[in-house]
Structure 1
């Protein structure tokens, strides 16, 4: 899941109270706790572990006092990391080309997104049926990635369809008004579209390509913090691991906690939570040690190269601190 994809709260929960721009843990931090600045994105994937850590008092438990800042996307957080105004952040799969280009270090994986879809208007049943048709897609997102994978699987190229680049909210309105024949987009936005176009057809989904092609989201650290303050990084990772296992053990409860934290209705978060694969920390450790995480990241790198985002991406071992996460 990526960055620009997070406009869904405005679409799905119009009129609700927006997430505050700046939050901090109060009444929990110990005097000797280390102050850190942590970014998050206001949706389930981008907030749940931060919300759980806040709800369960995990920051103080692990000796941290966070200043929590909400962002609309991953690239802006990477910019903040580079400017020195943020220590840690969250990015979806569409923004992972930035760590792969040396802009930040991945300190932990978050979840595997299975929410992406290639959808089409009624009467279009397969990717082949989309040949020559207009397809709306937010460029460089996981929806774009899935579209390319689905075309290749069908023996087609991007030039076989008419790609119309647009932001996520425009995809929703364009598809609903039948200005496009198809779209590369994700849940919960697909659910929003279905309210207007209930007979839309899902011609491809991200689960069709798992695990060979995965869409992981991750937590990142400022390069200087990763290189010069491993103790703080380890504390942050410890918080993430504990929150991650809480979520994996009780996703419905984690949705409630996240909705309360964000001040939004739970329904769109429930939909989002149902379209992800949530591994335990032990499973992430195993996936790190057996090379699965590196494989996910290399798969994304290949796609970023094909997008023209990267020419020579770093090897995952150079930007994912897997040894730190797995304990050696």
Structure 2
């Protein structure tokens, strides 16, 4: 498994004395995407050092299924990934718990110049069929791998919102499955006609291609869709509850910063998203576009997760029923918001 291991020095900002209880090393998995921006803020303040973790190992992944494989292999104490991947990991035996949400309604459908006019003019429900009739080919749409949140939201939108049958989809659309960097490259080179994708790719493509349009997003694709979440090992919860509490506390504070003062978050987020090469203005645009979606409360996504669980089961992308009561551990969040 390819992995980027980055050892960082974490400075601080005042969470209480948990150092004696905490482990000095922590494996953290993440994707370099806006929906897990809380993670980057936490990694750039002294939360972990204050909790006694002086030497964290960071593992970067391009998609959720790769993080699932790492979790199943016994790697990663903490991971930031989509709720779909979290359900798959739990169903396959990973001892993980969702302790915080990152974001909701995070997916957008971006259409490039050949495809976008069919959504701007005429019924969206027939856009793909009209595109094929005019262009003489199917529309090519990119998204993350099967079972991921973007792919699930794409399928939900096509089937539930646009009313397309499985035959309609197969006859009019070619769906290809890629990692975040590959989706962006496919859009930039116009190897695809559109993508169901998340930030910062949406903002990057909108900035670079004037004919790119967001033709559906958020609740228009999948109302109350859960998105990225923070999961931790049950073993970490049992052995180091104060460390987990410190992480959730910092996560809540980071969410507030993202919603209330995104300008202050740009530097930390920009270090990890886009390989640190993304212009600050694009990072800020992506954060502002996500303002209303950043959500730390895990209680807020339980019903949406149930809807997604049932839909994925009907699609065959979730082959084992997941005990959602066992997947979530909301105690840390609930206790902290009472303090």
Paired residues for 1:78-227 under 5 Å:
78-101=68-91, 102-103=93-94, 104-119=96-111, 121-125=115-119, 126-131=124-129, 133-138=138-143, 139-140=145-146, 141-151=148-158, 152-160=160-168, 161-167=172-178, 171-172=183-184, 180-194=192-206, 197-209=209-221, 212-227=223-238
Q: CA deviation at 1:118?
A: 4.8
> What secondary structure, in the 3-state scheme, does the structure 1 residue paired with 2:163 have?
coil
Which residue is equivalent to 2:64?
Answer: 74
How big is the shift at 1:111?
Answer: 1.7
Match of 1:21 in 2: 5
Q: Which residue of 1 aligns with 2:46?
A: 57
**1:232-251 correspondence to structure 2 within 5 Å:** 232-251=243-262
Q: Is the contact made by 1:82 and 1:222 (CA closer than 8 Å) also made in structure 2? A: no
C-alpha deviations, 1:34-65, integer Å up to 9, x for none?
3232223223333x323323443222444444
Question: What residue ranges of structure 2 are gaps of 5+ in the alignment?
Answer: 133-137
1:323 paired with 2:334, answer no
Structure 2 residue aligned with 1:273: 287
Partner of 1:21, secondary structure, is strand
Quick check: 297-306 or 21-30, which moved more? 21-30
Deviation at 1:236, TM superposition (A): 2.6
CA offsets per residue over residues 108-166 of structure 1, 9 Å max, x none?
A: 11122434215252431223121253232334243323332222222212321332324
Q: Distance in 2 between matches of 1:261 and 1:183?
A: 22
Name the TM-score, length of structure 2 as normaliser.
0.74
Alignment partner, residue 307 of structure 1: 315
Provide the rounded CA distance (Å) in 1 between the counterparts of 2:193 and 2:43.
43
Q: Distance in 1 between matches of 2:184 and 2:44?
A: 34
Q: How many corresponding residue pairs?
A: 301
RMSD of aligned residue pairs (Cα, Å): 3.4
Contact 2:106 2:218 in 1 (8 A): yes
Asked if the contact 2:35–2:106 (Cα under 8 Å) also holds between the matched residues in 1, the reply is no
SS at match of 2:264: helix
